[in-house]
Amino acid sequence: MSDPVTELAGLTLSGPVLVASGCGGSGRELTAYGPLADLGGFVTRSITLNARAGGSLPRIVETPSGLLHAVGLQNPGLEHFLSLELPWLAQQGTRVIVSIAGATLGEYAELARRLGRSPGVSAIEVNLSAPDATTTGVFDVREPFHAASVVAAVHRDLPRGMPVLAKVRTDLVRVVESARSVLDAGAAAVVVGNALPAAMPDGRPAGLSGPAIAPLALRCVTEVCAGLPDAQVVGAGGIATADDARAFLAAGATAVQVGAALLHDPTTAARIAADLRGAP
């Protein structure tokens, strides 16, 4: 029996389990625990045009069943990513999805132009749900209309055939509206689920990830799938076990992303993928 494949945004993936943005390092760190080829895809940490040093300490704090984080989009910038990280990632036998974040529409367009020409990129994921956007200085997309304008700018500057995934906020009240607006703007799929806006114990804006947020993410996925039956949805948020993944797929998601659980156990994504494949 051949392995089941997943069709997402016009791409064929070897399975439905992806690494969520920001939780897989540069990719290399994870390969110590298993080949990336065992996964359907690897989403990079959000890449910005220029390198970013990230936020002050503490950056990550444990909270019941969750992790609060204010890493501040630390990343080496587009140039470094293209020359030192992407070529290696592209050889790992998995789909490489590059997550991007920018301060202006112009930055998003520039990122799209440069990445669209780079061999090895399968898709772009636009991070429209940074939980600490206000402090990290990325384009504020609280309004679905603004999210749509970012997606339109990225879509316009990518070569035809390179899909855009739009990662929207899990704001239950507005998630269906957000999903509809980014799909109308050209997104091939919506990623529903990101860290929830929260606060560090000292009050700094932060994101909350981990099993604590899975039920909310699942509810958002359910509503988007029900409200937009033709949409392709990727579920994310607190997925830590194969049963969690099955629940998101049963709610209508085409694929799932595993994030914070990797920080607790770096083998989580590979184990879930193997379990869904029916491996012993």
Partner 1 sequence: MKPLHVTGEVLASKKVGAYRHLTLVAPGIPERFRPGTFVALSVGGEAARSRLARRAFWIHRVKPVGGYGATLEIVVEPVGVGTGWLAALAPGARLEVTGPLGRAFALPQEKVGCLLVGEGYAAAPLFPLAERLRERDCPVTLVVAGDDEAHLLSALEARRSARSVTVVTRDGSVGQRGEVADVIDEVLTRSGAEVVYAAGPSRTLHAVAAAAERHGAWSQTAVERPLTCATGLCQGCPVPVVGEDGVARLVRGCVDGPVFRGDRVRWDDLEAQ
Minimum distance between the CB of residue 184 and partner 1, rounded to whole angstroms? 34
> Which of 22/144 has CB closer to partner 1?
22
Is-contact 272 239, C-beta < 8 A? yes
> Which of 73/231 has CB closer to partner 1?
73
Q: Give Cβ neighbours of residue 224 (< 8 Å, ≥ 6 apart).
A: 175, 176, 179, 190, 192, 231, 233, 252
Number of H helices, E strands in the chain: 11, 14
Is-contact 94 42, C-beta < 8 A? yes
Minimum distance between the CB of residue 60 and partner 1, rounded to whole angstroms? 4
> Which of 75/122 has CB closer to partner 1?
75
> Which of 34/186 has CB closer to partner 1?
34
Is-contact 112 158, C-beta < 8 A? yes
> Which of 118/267 has CB closer to partner 1?
267
Is-contact 234 190, C-beta < 8 A? yes
Is-contact 205 132, C-beta < 8 A? yes
Minimum distance between the CB of residue 108 and partner 1, rounded to whole angstroms? 22
Minimum distance between the CB of residue 217 and partner 1, rounded to whole angstroms? 15
Rounded to 5, what percent of the chain is helix, strand, coil? Answer: 35, 20, 40
Minimum distance between the CB of residue 104 and partner 1, rounded to whole angstroms? 24
Q: What burial class does residue 258 get, using C-beta atoms within 10 Å of its C-beta: 0-12 exposed, 13-18 middle, 19+ buried?
A: buried
Minimum distance between the CB of residue 90 and partner 1, rounded to whole angstroms? 20
The residues binding partner 1 (CB under 8 A) are 22-25, 29-30, 32-33, 45, 53-54, 56-60, 62, 64-67, 69, 71, 74, 210-211, 240, 260, 262-267
> Which of 69/155 has CB closer to partner 1?
69
Is-contact 40 95, C-beta < 8 A? yes
